[in-house]
Amino acid sequence: MKIPVTFTLNGTEAAAFTDPGQNLLDLLRRNLGDLTPKFGCGQGTCGTCTVLIDGEPHLSCLILAEAAQGREIETTAGLANGPDLHPLQTAFMEGFAAQCGYCTPGMLMVAKALLDRNPSPTRDEVIEAISGNLCRCTGYEPIVEAILTAARAPRHATGRTA
Amino acid sequence: MTLHSGRGFACINYPIGMNLGGDPSQALVHSTPDGKFKVALSAIDLGQGMKSVTRQIAAEALGVPIEDVYVDTADSDTGPHDMGSFASRGTHRMGNAVIRAAAEARAQMLEAAAEELEVNASDLVTDGRGNIHVRGAPSRTITVEETAQAAQFRQGRTLAGRGIFLVPMSDVDPETGEMTPVSCFAHAALIVDLIVDDETGEVEVTHINSAYEVGRALNPKLVEQQLIGGAWMGVSHALYETTEPYYPDRSHGPEDFNHYLQPGPGDAVPHHISILERPAPDAPYGGKGPGEMCANPVIPAVANAVYNAVGVRCDNLPITPEKVLRGIRANGGVRPPVQR
Amino acid sequence: MPVEFRKDLFADERDDNLAEIGKPHIRQDILGHVTGRSPYYDDHLFDGLLHLRCVRAPYHHARVRSVDASAAERVPGVVRIIRPSDVPQNLNTLLALLNFGRDDEPLLTPEKTGYRGEPILAVVATSEAAARDAVAQVKVDWEELPHVLDVEEALKPGAPIVNTTYPNNTFDYHDRYDHQKLRFGDTEAAFAQADHIVEGEYQMSPIEQAPIETCGAIASPETNDRFVCYTSTQALFFSVAVSAKQTALPSSRLHFIGGTVGGGFGGKVDSHHEPLAILGAMLTGHPVKYQWDRAEEMQVGAPRSGERWRIKDGVMRDGRIIAREFTGFFDAGAYTRLTSYGVQKCTGHLPGPYTIPNVASNTYCVYTNRTPSTAMRGFGITGVDFSIECQMDRVAEAVGMDPIELRILNAYRDGDMKAHRRTAKNCALIESCQVVAQKSGWALSPDAMAQSSRVGGGAGWRAEIPETVIDHAGQIGERRRNWIDTEPFAGATQRDRIAAGTANEHPATGNAPQRDDMVIEAERLGFKVSDGPPAGAPSYGTRATAPTPPAAPSFTPPQTPTPPVGAPVPYPNAGPSLPPAARGAPAASPPVSAAPPTPPSPTTPSPQPAPTVSTTPPSAPAGSQDQAPRAPRRPGVSRFISGPRGRR
């Protein structure tokens, strides 16, 4: 039995029919074609599936799709402003803060949530914010640096998308 | 409860490429009608930067700017055979294949330009900015773009190249183990500073100083990425990781990241890296692959530092707090050998 | 913190005037990473995608008496059960591609499982949840069998047979031995001479590659009667070959797409997902995804093998290590995969980056009832390097020497002979040690700081292959019939000797470019070239018809250096000093089968020197071990990069 779900995805109205028990990650990827949140564990321990729900980071692999009803969902697909990169994206790019890139969308989501509520975080606050996101490649330091760099960038700063 | 500091050293070399050879890599390079170059590979980018480093190698070998080169990988319909991304073979094998393919494409390009300029191809050089001109006479010049158009539409020439790099397979002698493993080795030496808590047995690495010899840092930032990430993995391997905490008993094998422990961002260790470059004669621009050897010296350096701190030899990985405490107890207390 | 580049070191070997190489260019793929658009294998959408999950053995070692999948088939959403009998070529071994080893591992196991988690059946369903339900509904009548989990227990007579293809629980090396040997010099004699014997035992447990992206593949019928497979593999054509073999499809009907992977670290070479996913697509006519969840990735996915090492060193009181013996065990788990090769890779690495005149090792690829192991970052090397470097500190303590100075004293140098009978070159261990000591405030003696990889090597005994003692103990099956110990020479009833200087010289560098215009100009490769482009170099626009030897070498070999103050003390001969013997004839022929390695005949034409810059002296005949010790080889452009096809 399919259950209708409507919500806002990256600022746009979205609707889908979900199967009972389907999680939000699967709904976003398979039903809505937003491939930016990733599957890493299905256990809520790696953070690659992180999306923002009403501005707060959540693990979409553990959220029932139905729970998205009426909420504002943000994913990495909505980070850039048209052709202009978000300062976080520019900072990750120029700071070599990604290697395989698989943890990057989740990292960007928690970083965005942090900077939206705390525009000038300390290093410890950045570390705390990303502590639920695993990275196997970088050793974390470049990611922390990139987030601090983005925090220092002027708010209107943009980067190229190509 | 006392914190004991310790310092440990280790050094290693690492073989670059698949052992015994027999692992070919191929590349195809071709120009678009307006002088941009595509590199078709089947190499895999796991995050180590295969697409990026082969792009730089192709641009260098072709003599064109990097913005005019794009690497496409991996599609078995369009990419030629490559053995794969493992054994630190990618930069070495794939890089050499790309150089050869780019050399052939470059030769065609210089021939085409020579015909347009009515000179000998051997008189031409590229400026790396998209121009081809007579050596010593920069005004006798043509752009790569014009050359490609002339070649394609007037001369009937392809600007394309193929390359394969293969270290022929050798075998292993049954009696002596004689073999030809690889042709070059990377090196590393590393010093770990750490603190051991003699009440909990926990080990905290506080500082890493390293020297890595990589032949040539083809892209210094990619090398840095590998070394920082690899050293982090080395600390993780030394202190935390195991799929069988009671090896050889299989009990309590972790099935999630709550039980498979790794250091987090709050555990990041300041790591002062020095890079040495002794180019290997048969490596692309002398570059060896840093991707695997970066973790190896960390692990014994940590073990040696723990011994230096509290006098416990941890010969069994991972070095868990339980093992440290058992060692201290067996020794009748903390017995550091020499303070450094 | 910024990385320091020690450009001053080896500056005379490098030309750093390159255009794009050495620049910190932004990664080509990073824009995709930061926008979330990089296409990993699972980032492809299919209508009607089916999901595959496996039924797995819950015991370490068990026999399948019967399987009843009838309840599973009735679970809503189940489309197809895949059985072992559905797999056209069920048995495989990864290295069949290289003709190394026998096919020993089924894709789906019909009768006897060797590890907990081994797949015996696959279920394909319309959702992952349905597939999980169905897997839980499969009823298997298991007969649990005795198991063995310790590598040394597995070698003993009467141990349960883990892998029926290798009934001695060891990989068969060369159809002769149950281990891979390394023999160089005479360790037993050297131990008798040593001032100290230092021994250690080291153990590394298995660890997970743990990439953030788990292993997986999606296969789908494509147009034109082919199957497309999106995969996380680290080796595209490797996976094509395995899949073609196991599905009995010609590779022309397979279209593999990958190249963007969320971390591999060696765990994505086993090519297990692609054949199953393709089989699912073949049998259902629909796209099928086979993805490991994290629990599978951790406990079913192949880890780095556990390794156990014993090292015995003979050390002089001044710190020179004159003999080193290894006994090593790689825990392959239930199937071979890559461990057989890892043992040989490891053997070629011993005794570490040190010039030790007598080396011996026995290294075993052992089968146990655990998850098969595979490659992981540092494959074949990480475990033994951990052991060696802990051992070196033990040696330093035994002789009362600074640990770094001990490394420098024993470090290998250009021109030194290595235990696998190849000459060291391009060494940089000493400099790496010096740099890190200096920057950390670890004081070294002026003598240690004055050492160089380019000086003091390749002279006297250091360059020579010594007379070597060999044994024939540990033949296949011997150990299981009547236990013999595992260390080198244990159980050997006789010793034979291979003459000094015996080696099969084999070029270590790559094939020459097959066409002249695949040759890059030597001066553009970033090496310091002594006299600029030499006469006779191929010029573009002309095709060199035959490689022209240079009129005179453009490189003058340095004189054999006299060991400077502080250079390693020459090692005294352990036994009767044999002149470098004529190569080929062993002192005594071994009693069993093949002769020792025979050198190439003297009539083999030597390779034509390349017309481009070569900084090696004009080729001596292959096998010139009996000439004067070679000077340290200077770096330069290998003719195999820059030369036309050489004749051999």
Q: Are B237 and C207 in contact (CB under 8 A)?
A: yes
Q: Is B308 contained in some domain?
A: yes
Please say if the pLDDT value at position C508 is more than 80.
no
- Are B111 and B304 in contact by the 8 Å Cβ rule? The answer is no
Q: Is the peptide bond preceding residue A83 cis, with omega within 30 degrees of 0?
A: no
Q: Residue B335 domain-assigned?
A: no
Tens digit of each residue's pLDDT (9 = 90 or more) over A35-67: 999 999 999 999 999 999 999 999 999 999 999
Q: Which residues of A touch C294 (CB under 8 A)?
A: 40-43, 45-46
* Among A135-144, B125-134, C30-39, C578-587, the least confident range: C578-587
Mutation to test the A interface, candidates C27, C33, C41, most A Cβ within 10 Å: C33
Least Cα distance to B288 among B204, B216, B230 occurs for B216
Domain count, chain C: 1
Which chains neighbour A (Cβ–Cβ under 8 Å, 3 or more pairs)?
Answer: B, C
Q: Are residues B148 and B198 in the same domain?
A: no
Across the interface, do C236 and B42 touch by the CB < 8 Å criterion?
yes
Question: Tell me, what's the ipTM?
Answer: 0.97
A78 at the C interface (CB within 8 A)?
Answer: no
Does residue B177 belong to any structural domain of this protein? no
Q: Which domains does chain A have, with CATH numbers?
A: 3-78 (3.10.20.30), 87-157 (1.10.150.120)
Query: Is residue C11, in this structure, part of any structural domain at all?
Result: no
Q: Are A39 and C34 inside 8 Å of each other by CB?
A: no
Q: Are residues B123 and B230 in the same domain?
A: no
The per-residue pLDDT for A127 is 98
CA dist C46 and A33 (Å) reads 10
- Phi then psi for residue C30, to 5 deg, are -75, -25
Model confidence at C118, pLDDT cuts 50, 70, 90, reads: very high
Query: Which regions of C165-315 does DSSP assign to beta strands (E)?
Result: 180-184, 196-204, 216-221, 227-231, 254-257, 288-291, 307-315
Count of CB contacts below 8 A, A vs C? 105
The answer to whether B225 contacts A99, with C-beta atoms less than 8 Å apart, is: yes
**Mean pLDDT lowest among A139-148, B13-22, B312-321:** B13-22
Instruction: Say if residues B300 and C385 touch (Cβ distance below 8 Å).
Output: yes
**DSSP H/E element including C333:** strand C321-333
Identify the CATH number of the domain in which residue C78 sits: 3.90.1170.50
Q: What b-and-e string marks burial along B119-155, b requiring 16 or more CB atoms within 10 Å of the CB?
A: bebebbbbebebbbbbeeeeeeebbbbbbbbbbbeeb
| B306-318: pLDDT as tens digits | 999 999 999 999 9
Residue B63's domain comprises 25-165
Number of structural domains in chain B:
2
Please tell me the distance from the alpha carbon of residue C354 to that of residue C578, in angstroms, as a whole number: 24
- pLDDT for C548 equals 35
- If asked whether residues B43 and B95 sit together in one domain, one would say yes
- Average pLDDT (A100-109) is 98
Residue percentage of chain C with pLDDT more than 90: 77
Instruction: Select from A59, A61, A96 the residue whose CB has the most chain B CBs within 10 Å, as the one to mutate to test that interface.
Output: A96
Run of H or E residues at C105: strand C105-106
Per-residue confidence (pLDDT) for residue B160, from 0 to 100: 97
Tokens matching residue C290: 């086979």
Count Cβ–Cβ pairs < 8 Å, chain B vs chain C: 523
**C27 contact residues in A (CB cutoff 8 A):** 96, 98
For the cut 80, the answer to whether the pLDDT of residue C549 exceeds it is no
Based on the fold, state whether residues B313 and B215 are members of the same structural domain: yes
The nearest CA of chain A is from the CA of C37 a distance in Å of 7
How close does chain B come to A7, measured CA to CA in Å?
A: 31
Q: In which band, very low, low, confident or very high, does the pLDDT at C50 lie, cut at 50, 70 and 90?
A: very high
CA atoms within 13 A on the CB side of C447: 11
Instruction: List chain C residues with CB under 8 Å of B96.
Output: 510, 641
Residue A159 is predicted with a pLDDT of 52
Smallest Cβ–Cβ distance between B266 and the set A131, A136, A142 belongs to: A131
Instruction: Please report the pLDDT score of residue C519 as a whole number.
Output: 86
From the list A30, A79, A134, the residue facing C212 with the nearest CB is A134
User: Does the distance separating the beta carbons of B247 and C432 come in below 8 Å?
Assistant: no
- Cα dist from A135 to A29, C33, C500, C582, whole Å: 21, 13, 52, 58
Taking the C-alpha atoms of residue B24 and residue B169, their distance in angstroms, rounded to an integer, is: 10
Q: Which of C417-421, C576-580, C588-592 has the highest mean pLDDT?
A: C417-421
What local confidence, expressed as pLDDT, does residue C571 receive? 56
- CB-CB neighbors (< 8 A) of A77 in chain C: 35-36
By Cβ distance, the residue of A38, A43, A90 closest to C294 is: A43
Residue C524 · residue B61 · CB < 8 Å: yes
Residues in C touching B7 (Cβ below 8 Å):
440, 442
Residues of C in contact with B131 (CB under 8 A): none
- The answer to the question of residue B235 being in a domain is yes
- Which residues in B lie closer than 8 A to residue A41 (C-beta atoms)? 256-257
Distance from CA of B295 to the nearest CA of C (A): 8
pLDDT reported for residue B339:
52
- Name the minimum distance, in Å, from the CA of B272 to any CA of chain A: 13
Give the pLDDT confidence score for residue C530 in this predicted structure.
Answer: 56
Query: Pick from B131, B165, B199: which residue ends a domain?
Result: B165
Interface residue of A2, A10, A29, A39 to substitute, partner C, most C CBs within 10 Å: A39
CB contact under 8 A, B257 and A45: yes
Mean pLDDT, residues B127-149: 96
Given an 8 Å threshold on Cβ–Cβ distance, is A127 in contact with B266?
yes
Q: What is the pLDDT of residues C265-300, one digit of tens each?
A: 999 999 999 999 999 999 999 999 999 999 999 999
Band (C516; pLDDT cuts 50, 70, 90):
confident
Find residues 4-33 of chain A whose CB sits inside 8 Å of chain B.
none
Given CB atoms, is A60 within the 8 Å cutoff of chain C?
A: no
Residue B190 and residue B137 share a domain: no
B286: which chain C residues are within 8 Å (Cβ-Cβ)? 14, 525-527
Where residue C97 falls among pLDDT bands split at 50, 70, 90?
Answer: confident
Give the pTM.
Answer: 0.90
Q: C181, B176: Cβ pair inside 8 Å?
A: yes
Chain B interface includes C507 (CB < 8 A): yes
Listed by number, the residues of chain A in 127-146 with a beta carbon closer than 8 Å to a beta carbon of chain C are: 134-137
State residue C536's pLDDT score. 31
Instruction: Give percent of chain B above pLDDT 90.
Output: 94
Task: State the pLDDT confidence band at C601, using cuts at 50, 70 and 90.
Answer: very low
Are C36 and A41 in contact (CB < 8 Å)? Answer: no
Enumerate residues 245 to 264 of chain B having a beta carbon within 8 A of any beta carbon in chain A: 256-258, 262, 264
Q: Select from C181, C385, C641 the Cβ nearest to the Cβ of B96.
A: C641
Within this chain, do residues B154 and B128 fall inside the same structural domain, yes or no?
yes
Tell me whether B291 touches chain A (CB under 8 Å).
Answer: no
| pLDDT given for residue C595 in this prediction | 37
Range C386-407 average pLDDT: 98
Whether residue B59 is contained in a domain is answered as: yes
Tell me, yes or no, whether C59 lies in a domain. Answer: yes
Which of the pair, C640 or C4, is modelled with greater confidence? C4
Residue of C nearest to A44 (CA): C294
- What is the structure's pLDDT at C528? 87
Asked if C643 and C519 count as a contact pair (C-beta separation under 8 A), the reply is: yes
* pLDDT value, residue C504: 78
Q: How far apart are CA C295 and CA C71, in angstroms?
A: 25
Domain end: B114, B132, B165, which one?
Answer: B165
CATH number at residue B217: 3.30.365.10
Work out whether strand C227-231 and strand C254-257 pair parallel, antiparallel, or are unpaired.
parallel
- Identify the closest residue of chain B to A132 by CA–CA distance: B264
Half-sphere exposure of B222 toward its Cβ, with a 13 Å CA cutoff? Answer: 34
pLDDT tens string B27-46: 999 999 999 999 999 999 99
User: Are residues B207 and B161 part of one domain?
Assistant: no
Average pLDDT, chain C: 85
Do B210 and B314 have their domain in common? yes
- Whether C468 is covered by a domain: the verdict is no
Domain range enclosing C99: 43-144
Does the residue C57 lie in any domain? yes
Shared domain for B199 and B325, answered yes or no, is yes
Q: How confident is the model at residue B338 (pLDDT cuts 50, 70, 90)?
A: low
Residues B38 and B11 in one domain: no
Q: Given CB atoms, is A46 within the 8 Å cutoff of chain C?
A: yes
Chain C residues near residue B194 by CB distance under 8 angstroms: none
A161 contacts C29? CB cut-off 8 A: no
Q: Is the residue at C122 inside a domain?
A: yes
Q: Do residue B63 and residue B160 come from a single domain?
A: yes
Determine the pLDDT at residue C553.
Answer: 31
B93 and B211 fall within a common domain = no
Of B100-114, C119-133, C529-543, the poorest mean pLDDT is in C529-543
The label of the residue with tokens 């270290």 reads B167
Of the listed ranges A154-158, B121-125, C530-534, the least confidently predicted one is C530-534
CB-CB under 8 Å, A161 with C294: no
Determine the distance in angstroms separating the CA of A72 from the nearest CA of chain C, rounded to an integer.
19
| For residue C551, pLDDT beyond 70 | no
Question: Which of C36, C212, C295 is facing A77, going by the closest CB pair?
Answer: C36
**pLDDT (tens digit per residue) in B41-79:** 999 999 999 999 999 999 999 999 999 999 999 999 999
pLDDT on residue C623? 37
Who contacts C606 (Cβ-Cβ below 8 Å, separation ≥6)? Answer: C619, C620, C621, C622
Q: What is the mean pLDDT of residues B210-215?
A: 98
DSSP string, C138-151: -EEEEEE------H
Residue C86 lies in a domain: yes
pLDDT at C583 over 60: no
pLDDT at C555 over 50: no
* Average pLDDT of the residues in B247-276: 96
Residues of C in contact with B38 (CB under 8 A): none
Q: What is the pLDDT of residue C253?
A: 97
DSSP structural state of residue B75: B
Dist. CA B111–CA B107, nearest whole Å:
6
